[in-house]
């Protein structure tokens, strides 16, 4: 199970700005643990959001149990996979993204605007 869940929702407002939010519930641990997890998520987003995020969309990273103990390189790999799964097929450059599994198994959820 990944150390986080990535949610993405296109805003469809004409603004190409990518926005990101972070959340870690109290179930994960005390404030020190939650803040450490959020710092790790922010660092991951700083590295990967500009090149792999979806323009004009809101992205939310939700920290999960085990994410704090997980190796940073593994989290980075998981986030890269998550971005490939939420990226629309027209923008996908990786052929592996066409063979994506269901979002729940990958730890990725794509929010749809209602």
pLDDT tens-digit readout, 6-64: 999 998 888 889 999 999 999 999 999 999 999 999 999 999 988 898 888 999 999 99
Output the pTM of the full model.
Answer: 0.71
Count Cβ atoms below 10 Å from residue 73 Cβ, excluding itself. Answer: 8
More confident residue, 99 or 68: 68
The pLDDT of residue 89: 58
The Cα–Cα gap between 2 and 64 comes to 8
Mean pLDDT computed over 57-84: 91
The pLDDT of residue 3: 87
More confident residue, 84 or 111: 84
pLDDT for residue 102 is more than 70: no
Nearest to 24, CA basis, from 8, 4, 7, 1: 4
């Amino acid at each position: 199970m990944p150390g986080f869940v990535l949610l993405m929702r296109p805003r469809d407002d004409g603004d190409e700005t990518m926005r990101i939010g972070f959340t870690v519930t109290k179930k994960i641990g005390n404030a020190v643990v939650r803040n450490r997890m959020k710092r790790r998520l922010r660092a991951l987003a700083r590295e990967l959001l500009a090149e792999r995020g979806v323009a004009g969309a809101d992205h939310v990273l939700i920290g999960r149990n085990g994410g704090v103990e997980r190796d940073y390189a593994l989290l980075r790999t998981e986030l890269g996979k998550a971005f490939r799964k939420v990226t629309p097929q027209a923008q996908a450059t990786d052929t592996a993204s066409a063979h994506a599994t269901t979002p729940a198994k990958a730890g990725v959820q794509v929010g749809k605007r209602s």
